[in-house]
A and B are shown apart, each in its own frame.
Chain A
Amino acid sequence: AGNAVVVKPSEVSENTARLVAELLPQYLDKDLYPVVTGGVPETTELLTQRFDHILYTGNSSVGRIVMAAAAKHLTPVTLELGGKSPCYIDKDCDLAVACRRITWGKYMNCGQTCIAPDYILSCEGPGLCPAAAVLILPFASAPTILTDVSPESKVMEEEIFGPVLPIVTVKSVEEAIEFINLREKPLALYVFSNNKQLIKRVISETSSGGVTGNDVIMHFFLSTLPFGGVGHSGMGAYHGKHSFETFSHRRACLIKDLKMESTNKMRYPPGSQKKVDWAKFFLLKRFNKARIGLFVLALLGLVAAVMIKVSFG
């Protein structure tokens, strides 16, 4: 979109950060696209500076800090945050396929994906377990399934950024929708069902950043779909053309012609060109610095003003 950009990679992925800091300037114009590395103190300092837009990807707590810092400069922000992305599995559904797709999304990158299905809502409950268990075996690090999870348990409080998949039992799709709506709006929402109407219903009766029906994560890969959150899961969106829009100011422009002024007559206060000509006549009169002459002219001007108002007003 034509901006200059400061890139601040995460200090947590040390090696990648170092690589980006070394390599990016070798490819991009380093005067316009510098890379700043560092941790919390460096980022805090950086945020005191004035930017024209900030895009932050991370968690909601830091999202608040970024937004507060941006507010000082009236800087617009795009916040890609997180949350607990629910995954509803309907009774009427190919369980094996559903579980395979879900576990793929969940355990990819060791569960450290902001749009990974965070927890499952299912009428099957623990019955879901065997199907899922088989499928998680190929994934490397200690994938875990928790069954019969209570809504109040610790694992249901915050976003799970690891290979742990709780299953919450619900009695119906209504209960699932209620469960989802009682919580903060998630970044992604997933629903598995052979019933198209049910999927439509879940989408209509809930809110989330994005949705994939009968699969997980995939809406992220279609660049024509805006990718972003809502509520606590973020604001703004990007990917594809949406990135261009996010980083552009859509400036309203109206170019008129100085001619055809007669068409504008109706918007001016009641008065003909005559009134203006009278006014100009008095204004343009030259006079010397003599006080008397000035006084006389001022008086004349006042008289003219009153006369014009009385006769035309």
Chain B
Amino acid sequence: NPYAGLVSHLRASWLSGKTRPMEYRVAQLEALGRFLDDKKEEILEATELDMGKPSFEAFFSEILLCKNELNVTLNNLCHWMKDEHVDKNLVMQLDSAFIRKDPYGVVLIIAPWNYPIHLFLVPLIGAIAAGNCAIIKPSEISKNTERLVAETLSCYLDSVRSPSCPCLLFLGHGVPYPASHPPAPHIIYVQNLLPPHSASVPASWDAVGEDRWGAYKCVLRGGVTSELCAWLMLLGFLSAAPTVLADVLPSDPAMQEEIFGPILPIVVIANMDEAIEFINARPRPLAIYAFSCDSKIVNQVLERTSSGGFCGNDTLMQVTLTSLPFGGIGNSGLGKYHGKFTFDTFSHHRGCLHRNMGLETLNTPRYPPYTQQKLGLLTSTFEVKRRGTCTLL
């Protein structure tokens, strides 16, 4: 195995205790900051080459959001690393009880291609902050970014790379949308040109036909689709072929798997209850979005569904807030990170109780020979009472 030697070398470095002092972790994190500053242009170029990512978007997700995570971590690391003292019961009043944040050791971060810097760097920030060593495996699909990271990152970090890892963070899947298609807005009307169940379709929709260029043109009087189409035509000038699929049925191919490209199916439903039913009949998604001027509706959708995250009246924004955990549930994933959650994900929360050697007499009730009297004493000292069970006589 080509990596066995690498990993055992890494584990030995970790066992040396090098990554434990806060100064070391801060130095590595600051180096990551310099990496983002120095290599900003190269990163924007690489992501542009890899998938045609507009530099506006690339700067926001690959540089700005990463720097935010870095700064939140650097600002708070001292506080996060501290032992967390916990409430004690009667018996342990003279003891010291705290949660120690221990690093796991050797971490493997496997990143996807769609946000190739962000999705390895943000976990890496937390892994380093928590005191681990890490192997970074960027996606081979985003070739240019992969090369950039492989060549330059080691100049900034105490270089380590690459098997048996106690903590695994898995991200992403899918194949890249071919950015090579010529940009042209497609507006496609799917299924029957005149839906037989027209009672459930808004009267503002009319079917058309095929134009010379192989794209259906959609005619609408107004409503959701036309608004979307208008914005998409605009976006079409910047990225490849944004597409809206109107009047999609649950059995359509577009509704079977995650769409990893600029295609937006619209499913017509009668009301919110049907929408909630539709969502709950399917695997739990990574995010759910609900738009309504009525906050009760937004809350209803939130209450009656389950997802990794949720945003009302907007999309994507919940992942830009470092104080919110980012992660999935069920099929959409497990665990969470961003901000302090990354630090916690890569730390073992070790329950510690430091007792007094003296006062041994207080311990006598617990030793055999067991007596009813001792049990009574133990119960009264260990017992936690349910609140509100006191009666004032």
Contacts and interface: CB of A to CB of B under 8 A. Distances in A.
Contacts of A212: 352-355
A146 B351 CA distance: 29
Given A181-B15, A230-B102, A283-B220, A269 B355 contact: no
B138 interface: no
A227 interface: yes
Interface string A196-218: 10010001110111111111001
Interface stretch (A25-33, A92-100, A149-157, A162-170): A92-100
Given A226-B99, A254-B321, 17 more contacts: A196-B354, A199-B354, A205-B17, A208-B350, A209-B351, A212-B355, A218-B353, A225-B86, A237-B349, A254-B317, A254-B318, A254-B324, A256-B314, A269-B238, A286-B206, A298-B212, A305-B233
Interface string B350-393: 11111111001001001111000000000000101000000000
Interface in B195-242: 206, 208-209, 211-213, 217-222, 226-227, 229-231, 233-238
Given A250-B336, A254-B310, A286 B219 contact: yes
B382 A194 contact: no
Contact of A227 (B102, B293, B351): B351
29 contacts: A76-B335, A100-B360, A104-B367, A138-B367, A205-B17, A209-B351, A210-B352, A210-B353, A211-B100, A211-B350, A224-B97, A225-B353, A226-B99, A249-B329, A252-B309, A253-B312, A254-B314, A254-B321, A255-B311, A255-B313, A256-B317, A264-B314, A269-B54, A280-B227, A286-B206, A294-B209, A295-B212, A298-B211, A313-B237
A211 B353 contact: yes
Chain A interface residue bracket vs B: 35 or more
A205 B384 CA distance: 34
Interface of B: 15, 17, 20, 54, 56, 86-89, 91-92, 97, 99-100, 102, 104-105, 166, 185, 187, 206, 208-209, 211-213, 217-222, 226-227, 229-231, 233-238, 291-293, 295, 298, 302, 306-314, 317-319, 321, 324-326, 329-331, 333-336, 348-357, 360, 363, 366-369, 382, 384
A257 interface: yes
Given A210-B351, A226-B349, A249-B329, A254 B311 contact: yes
A183 interface: no
A298 B213 contact: yes
A181 to B, nearest CB: 7
Interface of A: 52, 74, 76, 93-94, 97-98, 100-101, 104, 138-139, 181, 192, 194, 196, 199, 203-205, 207-215, 218-219, 221-228, 230-231, 237, 249-258, 264, 269, 271, 275-277, 279-280, 283-287, 289, 291, 294-295, 297-298, 301, 305, 308-309, 313
A202 B307 CA distance: 42
